[in-house]
Structure 1
């Protein structure tokens, strides 16, 4: 249906000559046309850029309003802990198999090609739809300085400018990537019913519904491991840098998400008139929707809201750029496995999937919808639509790891020999699977109270549509769910092992790379230097046990 057999899709000589893939005298870095240019610092920043965006600064206000400060903290803590279990699973597989397409190709390789097809297109639409979400948020934040920005003309101009910036960044190359009012905050916003707020109904049921409202915000906001898995194929030293990036996810969960939920509940009351007006009327399309901006306005110091908004702009722009990158690489990974048209495998000499990029850049055009409606309405619509897609990805990651763990046990592979060994496995994967599946079913419960057809489809479109992709591909391609003994646990590992043996210097840490930007501790010739191979590239790979079909 799409392209050639997946075993041959890794190297299409009609699209890219061999020099694009193998440096002269060097071993191959990948079995496809992507190039391993990303260093430790760039990987960490891409992961941060995809994790911290509009949801953490703006959408979190909805969770605070619905659930209250304590419910918000509880929801973000639980979701962060469960997603840490998912991170623990995908880290073990992605460091051992840092392949193009990340967890998407892992699902197809370890479980069923139909599962890889389903989760691949699910994640592509998830990332592609997040791009207009962030663009809408960008104009929302800009409107803090001028209400005229929300008018159709200025809004359209800003959208065009952002799309052009994303295009330039992604097409060039990967490597171009106190208290003035004397008022102590403390936990006063947790008092007088502010900790566990009633939502929709009253009493204990209302407080539980408030928790579910806060959980909906947490599910959309708390993300991270998927971006590291996707970027693994372009890491200069995947065994080291990807492993370090996955470990930093736990720190980000604690500081940014759990810490952010705690901070929001402290600095802004769930009953703040400005927050209540925004959440109930939904007509205010300004950056005042952020609880952080509301808190700064309450301080009475004019400069603080401007500083907060400026910082938010940089984060939102960075997040949108990361989503563009992830969507392009996801589509490219689908093409490699024959799950998308073969022409999408075309890459530039710098390793940029050219036609995948053109397809992805169609989606930012959806941000023009805010020219007819307010930016806040557009943001809410995009957020509801993609949340289910994120949950589906985490469900598949957990299923994939369970299958991988069974295969390792059946084939006698000692997981302790892998670059990263997950803890509390496979029980952690089972817990994550059960939690994510439950949340996937109930997070849009407000559609039933009372019944609202529009809200139902905005919350459950992905859950209703995506499983059909699995069934259609399974019927058309007659795919099979692999048994543990049928899973290929060698795959592309010899290619990566041979590649990493060519490095002549030890890896450079994140903080040293940051110092090198300032001219401190630079290494002559640059980081991640490699020695030339004494044999031809194909012979070198064959000597490490790589079958010719993988080249």
Structure 2
């Protein structure tokens, strides 16, 4: 009997030692199977009320960091050099300042929509709900294409950063490493994407704050050269290098650099409590615009001459204006350190590009605006075919091996810049239509847990400004600064390709569906489907309780809690 017990004990030990390995492998295999709605521990619905399978694993710290600096990358750190060269130092402040006010209103409008309708693929979904399916198709694919191009764009920029240290190594080898790194993060799931953004964004923010402090020191003559710079570059090179047309060319670069701010809305379907998390993240946009864009570019304009040959589009190797500013200051080791921070920033935006593209394509699949296979979500909440599509398209990054990286960068940027403008235009238009539908159907704003600080008039202002940007971009694309203002097909498509793409997509869908309606009737807009079921009275009671607690705190604490 004891022998049988001993044999059973040994066999049990064998099974216990082998089972975990088999179970782990089985779990990995099973994770790629379709999500099973009845086993989900979340309630995540699309606009039709169907469960999507996406996981609500993003926490407050993830969304806050994504909002604060998730898209600080090539547009600000490298592309701003081109804007400085063509527009001048004053153009940087004008373009980023005006675009910043518009972004502030757009993100608040988006926050109102996302808190009410935390559905996947927010932008195209809202277009389908409040405007028209053809418009939803065009803006949805426009946004997906933007991120498809942003990924190789950021990786080409990463190769450009590497050449700062060594231009003899084939940049494709580095790009391959970055490419694998980004897709590994996204393959692990949304939680790991959020964690990666927390650390990568922290490094970016520390670098930008450090640059601003250094900028104050260098402008005041505290650098190794002890030269007081002040407004020297404004006087010698002029505040504007090419007049109004030069300023006009900088708006698209400014728009692209702030692109990704709307990523906060895209995360709403994967946030545990969007009604509480999103408003705080949206309020942080104010600091992001003021501190990380406006102040940093102020010192770039003061420290870097607009005619520097190292700027993007100049005659020599393109370098970040931030690195140029540090080199001019005479600090030897710091340019390499900051260049490494730029490299990290670029990888962070590339990481966001894969997330944004895969979620948008998955949403298009659920809306039947893309092949149904793209709607597939596995048990880990990963839109596998969306990730695969982004991976295939991301292979364009190997164009970095092309000898003229600046040209590749410019063509990729041409698609992304206007795509951002059109996406923001869509958000503002959806918000206006949502408010008008609420009014038409006799619904009260008291139903909403969060309302836009700038209201419907902020969205109307944004629509007007964005249409203005599209018009002046058409003008500068048709009659460029180069070649004496003569028309050039190459220059036109390089600067206006994004608008052409949206027009082709919209027209093609109209012809295919034979639906010639421009917009839905306000009375036909469904204001209930897709709404997350919440107890409005309970939320209002919680907010009132929190407000009363805050009233008892000092002013500086109330200010910090609201904006930070």
TM-score (norm 2): 0.79
Query: Structure 1: how far apart are the matches of 2:442 and 2:75?
Result: 43
Equivalent residue number for residue 524 of structure 2: 486
2:487 to 451, 468, 487: 451
Question: Structure 2: which 5+ residue stretches go unaligned?
Answer: 1-32, 46-50, 194-216, 218-222, 480-484, 547-564
Counterpart CA distance in 2 for 1:240 and 1:427 is: 24
Instruction: Give CA deviations for 1:406-449 in whole Å, capped at 9, x if unaligned.
Output: 10111122224312112343222122111111212322514422
Pick from 235, 240, 250: which aligns with 1:191? 235
- CA RMSD after TM alignment: 2.3
In 1, distance between residues paired with 2:466 and 2:450?
24
Instruction: Please state whether the residue corresponding to 2:78 is helix, strand or coil.
Output: helix
Q: For 1:167-187, what per-residue CA distance to the aligned partner results, in whole angstroms no more than 9, with x for missing partners?
A: 110111111134222233333
Contact kept? 1:69, 1:195, Cα under 8 Å: yes
Q: Secondary structure at the match of 1:148?
A: coil
Q: Deviations over 1:196-236 (max 9, x none)?
A: 22x2xxxxxxx112211332321221224421111110011
1:168 corresponds, among 180, 184, 202, to 184
1:512 corresponds in structure 2 to none
Gap change, CA 1:447 and 1:284, over 3 Å in 2: farther
Distance 1:130 1:271 in 2: 27
Does the 8 A contact of 2:35 with 2:381 survive in 1? no
SS in 2 for 1:244: helix
Partner of 1:247: 283
2:174 is matched with which residue?
158
Matching of residue 60 in structure 1 with residue 80 in structure 2: yes
Answer yes or no: is the 8 Å Cα contact 1:131–1:323 preserved in 2: yes
Cα offset for 1:335?
0.6
**d(CA) in 2 for partners of 1:156 and 1:192?**
40
Structure 1's consecutive aligned runs of 4 or more residues displaced over 4 angstroms after TM superposition are none
Give the helix-richer structure, 1 or 2: 2
Shift of 1:35: 0.8
- Per-residue deviation at 1:109? 0.8
Q: Distance in 2 between matches of 1:224 and 1:415?
A: 28
How much has 1:251 moved relative to structure 2?
1.7
Alpha-carbon shift at residue 189 of structure 1 (Å):
2.1
Corresponding residue for residue 9 of structure 1: none
1:319-369 C-alpha deviation (Å, 9 max, x unpaired): 110011100000001011111111122222110011111111112111222
Q: Is the 8 A contact 1:76 1:218 kept in 2?
A: yes
Matches within 5 A, 1:196-235: 196-197=240-241, 199=242, 207-235=243-271
Aligned to 1:105: 125
Contact map agreement 2:473 2:496 (CA 8 A) in 1: no
Q: Does 1:351 align with 2:384?
A: no
Do 2:55 and 2:270's aligned partners in 1 also have CA atoms closer than 8 Å?
Answer: yes
CA distance in 1, matches of 2:349, 2:454: 32
Tell me, what secondary structure is at the counterpart of 2:455? Answer: coil
Q: Aligned with 1:192: secondary structure?
A: helix
| Match among 499, 513, 520 for residue 463 of structure 1 | 499
Distance 2:384 2:106 in 1: 31
Give the structure 1 partner of residue 556 of structure 2. none
Q: Distance in 2 between matches of 1:245 and 1:95?
A: 12
* Mapped partners of 1:94, 1:373: distance in 2: 44
TM-score (norm 1): 0.80
- How many Å apart are 1:484 and its aligned residue? 1.3
* Cα deviation, residue 477, structure 1: 3.1
Q: 1:245 to 1:224 in 2, by over 3 A?
A: farther
Aligned length: 468
Runs of at least 5 residues in structure 1 that lack an aligned partner in the other structure: 1-13, 200-206, 509-551
Relative to structure 1, the CA distance from residue 124 to residue 274 in structure 2 (aligned partners, 3 Å threshold; closer, same or farther) is closer
* Cα distance, 1:147–1:422 mapped onto 2, change above 3 Å: same
Corresponding residue for residue 361 of structure 2: 331
Contact 2:77 2:342 in 1 (8 A): yes
Q: Give, in whole Å, the separation in 2 of the partners of 1:169 and 1:294.
A: 32
Matched-pair contact (CA < 8 Å) for 2:128–2:136? yes
2:317 is equivalent to residue 284 of structure 1: yes
2:300 aligned with 1:267: no
Deviations, residues 2-21 of structure 1 (Å, cap 9, x unaligned): xxxxxxxxxxxx9432255x
Q: Determine if contact 2:237/2:307 at 8 Å carries over to the other structure.
A: no
- C-alpha distance in structure 1 between counterparts of 2:335 and 2:508, whole Å: 51
Q: Does 1:306 align with 2:336?
A: yes
| Per-residue deviation, 1:316 | 0.8
Distance 1:274 1:358 in 2: 37
Say which is worse superposed, 207-216 or 111-120, in terms of deviation.
Answer: 207-216
User: Does the aligned pair in 2 maintain the 1:49–1:319 contact within 8 Å?
Assistant: no
Give the structure 1 partner of residue 403 of structure 2.
373
Q: Is the Cα contact below 8 Å between 2:71 and 2:348 reproduced in 1?
A: no
Q: Equivalents in 2 of 1:317, 1:496: separation in Å?
A: 37
Shift of 1:245: 1.5
8 Å contact kept, 1:104–1:116:
yes
